């Protein structure tokens, strides 16, 4: 995003939300920017892993490898949004997650066993506009500006007051993130956060319902969409919540063979 667009976005946020809320948003943005800069540097994964081991048993934060095709539904319901992602608010917020502006159902630590009806009323992962756009781009061969994802992004940005040219540029920036992810995974295969020296908790994060079905909850939305359209055999996922009625296990502790 260019400096001029960043400035216009800041002014718009200030006018709509006031100084205190804008100051908090700026602080969170700076914090995320710093984390992104050190994410992937040598020793980063190990340092974060050791910190998390003070809070968790190793099994709670160790990913398991499953097929992306096994993740067909969302945790909780599907809904459109006015900010951030176009749709779907994660049902559960991981305790360590930094985002605070989403209307999630409950904050919870990794490895939680939870009873109740939270696993009812599931909606298909394929409802996600990001997934539909990714499939149109890489399976159907459309240009980004011909996809539903791009079109919905442009409409969102226009509704927020952006001029047509800026709205289109912002939408392409979002699409380019998926394009970059696709190119990297297609070229290098799907790599875990450990291999990337990323944050241990930034794997695709799922829940397990009472019947053992794996449900998407949060983290790694771009990567999961790309893994599905590329036909990746298995990806690492973290289990945030398991329904108390399910007593089995899923996936494998190590990848099954060489990943594309």
The domain locations on the chain are 39-243
Q: Which residues, including other chains, have CB under 8 Å from residue 75's CB and lie 6 or more apart? A: 90, 91, 92, 118, 119, 122, 206, 207, 215, 216, 217, 241
Sequential pLDDT tens for the chain (260 residues): 565 555 555 465 465 556 555 454 444 444 444 555 668 899 999 999 999 999 999 999 999 999 999 999 999 999 998 888 999 999 999 999 988 778 899 999 999 999 999 999 899 999 999 999 999 999 999 999 999 999 999 999 999 999 999 999 999 999 999 999 999 999 999 999 999 999 999 999 999 999 999 999 999 999 999 999 999 999 999 999 999 999 998 978 777 544 43
At residue 259, the pLDDT reads: 42
What the block records as the tokens of 39 is: 């994410």
Q: Which residues share a beta bridge with 235? A: 66
At residue 109, the pLDDT reads: 98
At residue 4, the pLDDT reads: 59
At residue 173, the pLDDT reads: 97
What the block records as the tokens of 32 is: 């995320």
What the block records as the tokens of 144 is: 């980004």
CA dihedral 28, 183, 147, 173 (to 10 degrees): 30
At residue 179, the pLDDT reads: 98
SS3 per-residue string spanning 160-180: CCCCHHHHHHHHHHHHHHHHH
């Amino acid at each position: 995003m260019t400096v001029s667009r960043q400035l216009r976005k800041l002014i718009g946020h200030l006018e709509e939300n006031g100084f205190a809320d804008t100051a908090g948003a700026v602080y969170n943005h700076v914090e995320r920017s710093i984390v992104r800069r050190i994410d992937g540097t040598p020793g980063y994964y190990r340092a974060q892993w050791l910190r998390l081991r003070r809070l968790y048993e190793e099994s709670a934060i160790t990913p398991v490898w499953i097929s992306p095709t096994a993740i067909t539904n969302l945790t909780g319901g599907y809904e459109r949004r006015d900010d951030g992602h176009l749709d779907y608010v994660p049902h559960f917020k991981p305790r360590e997650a930094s985002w605070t502006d989403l209307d999630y159902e409950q904050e919870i630590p990794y490895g939680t066993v939870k009873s109740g009806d939270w696993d009812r009323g599931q909606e298909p992962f394929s409802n996600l506009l990001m997934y539909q756009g990714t499939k149109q781009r890489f399976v159907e061969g459309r240009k980004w500006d011909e996809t539903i994802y791009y079109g919905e992004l442009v409409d969102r940005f226009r509704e927020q007051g952006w001029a047509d040219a800026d709205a289109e540029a912002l939408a392409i920036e979002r699409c380019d993130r998926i394009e970059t992810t696709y190119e990297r995974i297609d070229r290098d295969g799907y790599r875990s956060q450990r291999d990337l020296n990323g944050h241990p908790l930034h794997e695709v994060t799922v829940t397990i319902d009472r019947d053992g079905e794996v449900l998407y909850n949060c983290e790694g939305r771009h990567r999961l969409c790309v893994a599905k359209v590329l036909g990746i055999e298995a990806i690492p996922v973290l289990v945030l919540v398991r329904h108390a009625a399910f007593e089995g296990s899923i996936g494998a502790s190590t990848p099954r063979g060489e990943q594309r």
